[in-house]
Amino acid sequence: MTWLRLVRAELRKLTTTKMPWGFLAVLVVISATTAAAVLWGTDADGSKGFIATAEDQRSLMAFGLNAMIVAGLFGAIAVAREHGHGTVIPTFLTAPRRHRAVLAQFTAVLIGGALLGLVGAGLTVAAVAASLPVVGYGFLVSAGAVTQVVAASAFAGASGAVLGAGIGAIVRNMGGAVTAAVLVLFIIPPLVVQLVPEAISWVPGALVAVLSGVGGEVGVLAAMAVIAAWGIIPAAVGLVFVQRRDVV
């Protein structure tokens, strides 16, 4: 079987289960929460200064970190459940060269993560744009800035999904993989920053802020490279693990 057919087969697996709908529901909840913040949230003085400028609105719509975390969980579940349920075995029988099958799986998950980031950012932008007139504010963010926010979310989602897939390939247990993904993306980075303040520029939150145009700790190319590394390194380790150990 050719590698492209393997990718199509993996995409078919992802799209014929209820899992994508569950994650879509999560994105809807996040965007609805953002809309609620616009409608009913206030600053400490009772004003709505947090949506008063284009920069404020852009920062509110920046979905990159959410995209990376949600897609990371998506990737971890997608890969770990195949190992946990044993459904990866027929795949390896179809493609005895395991690295081809694993890379196809990671590619399918990457595409899914990018789409989650894209849809999540789009829903968030739409929620903010629809809510602002209700509270008497106009939508001030330019089309170029919106495009950057959405593209950054898609990129972060792709990287997060690959990171989660790598963790899933290493851990193989769905509960353990989800826990590890939450630790890596949500819990450990702030702890590292507390211990090593200089690391603040290289954690996912700061990096995706740069890509979204709401942060300037490092350059855009450096941020892209490091965000990509956050996904590639766990995926490479996961690939090695799958290659070297028994499937069952």
- Is residue 41 in a domain? no
User: DSSP states of 18-48 as a string?
Assistant: SHHHHHHHHHHHHHHHHHHHHHH---TTS--
Output the six-digit token pair for 19.
């899992």
- Is residue 40 in a domain? no
- Is residue 45 in a domain? no
- Is residue 47 in a domain? no
Q: Enter the pTM of the model.
A: 0.93
Instruction: Please give the DSSP secondary-structure letter assigned to residue 199.
Output: G
Which pLDDT does position 96 carry in this prediction? 67
Q: Residue 190 pLDDT more than 80?
A: yes
Domain enclosing residue 107, as ranges? 3-35+52-244
- Is residue 43 in a domain? no
Which pLDDT does position 1 carry in this prediction? 66
Nearest 5°: CA angle at 204, between 201 and 205?
80
Q: For residue 199, which amino acid is it?
A: A
Are 165 and 76 in contact by the 8 Å Cβ rule? The answer is yes
Q: How confident is the model at residue 209 (pLDDT cuts 50, 70, 90)?
A: very high
- Is residue 62 in a domain? yes
Express each pLDDT in 157-183 by its tens digit.
Answer: 999 999 999 999 999 889 999 999 999
Are 162 and 106 in contact by the 8 Å Cβ rule? The answer is yes
Rounded distance between C-alpha atoms, residue 107 and residue 165, angstroms: 10
Q: Residue 122 pLDDT more than 80?
A: yes
Q: Residue 90 pLDDT more than 80?
A: no
- Is residue 42 in a domain? no
Number of domains in the chain: 1
- Is residue 190 in a domain? yes
Output the six-digit token pair for 9.
């087969």
Tally of residues, the chain: 248
